[in-house]
Amino acid sequence: MPEFDNTKYDLPSDQADNGKLNKLRAAVLGANDGIVSTSSVVMGVAGATGDAKAITLAGLAALVAGALSMAVGEYVSVSSQSDAEKAYIRLEQEDLRDNPEYELDELAREYMKHGVSKKTAHVVAAELTKKDALKAHLRMHFNIDPEEVVSPWHAAVASLLAFTVGGIIPFVAIIVSPAAWRIPLTVIAVVISLIAVGLVSAHVGNASKVRAVLRVVLGGVVAMIATYGVGILFGATIA
């Protein structure tokens, strides 16, 4: 019987690359959230008061609270995904142990649904089963790799770091700038960082750079203007 290149019948070979891209997207989104949320808080407080200490404390609180919130949210979300993937793995392990012949035939039928001939589908299924039955079934049925189950702790730490890296930009900009230049320099720093985020986002998603940059920059600027206006309004009211 001729040898078949079973990799051509497996899932796309760029599955690992897609995983890396998803992690990069998450990092970009975390950094963007850090930039926008932290800059919005410090701009709002700066609109209400010129007290450098109050602005610093508010910015620090926003940075720490936002990073921890992102980490906890990501941990909970990925934990649910991880638990589901582990359940699928256990289910397939039990099925392969209790009824291996049925599972082999089922795998062949799945390849037939994708246009592979009956004879070739059974040969490929047998080859993949011999190589790694569990991985073959998990990839076909659930599009997961048992060796690539995401760690919720890794995701939480990554989100915390991404948010912190993004949030520290407006925080540092507003506390080190002279009082007279505090607002414009912070806006400039935020806009530049958002442009960088937009470019990376466009590269990762293979999208229009202009559209991606405009989207994140406009969103960030609108958020800063809105919170700064609220700060001025309530600052004047309290005063």
**Is residue 130 a part of any domain in this protein?**
yes
Residue 50 lies in a domain: yes
Residue 25 lies in a domain: no
DSSP 9: G
What the block records as the tokens of 30 is: 């975390």
Residue 118 resides in a domain: yes
Residue 199's pLDDT band (boundaries 50, 70, 90)? very high
Write the pLDDT tens digit of every residue in 221-237: 999 999 999 999 887 55
**189 domain-assigned:** yes
Tell me whether residue 177 is in a domain.
Answer: yes
Q: Is 1 within the bounds of a domain?
A: no
* Global confidence as pTM: 0.76
pLDDT of residue 22: 64
| Segments forming the whole domain that contains residue 139 | 6-11+30-234
Residue 173 maps to a domain: yes
Q: How many domains does the chain have?
A: 1
Residue at 185: amino acid letter: L
Residue 123 has pLDDT above 90, yes or no: no
- The secondary element (H helix, E strand) that includes residue 101 is helix 100-113
Contacts 24+ apart (CB under 8 A), 229-238: 229/47, 230/44, 230/47, 231/43, 231/44, 231/45, 231/46, 231/47, 231/48, 231/49, 232/47, 232/48, 234/48, 235/47, 235/48, 235/49, 238/48
pLDDT in tens, 150-176: 788 888 898 999 999 999 999 999 999
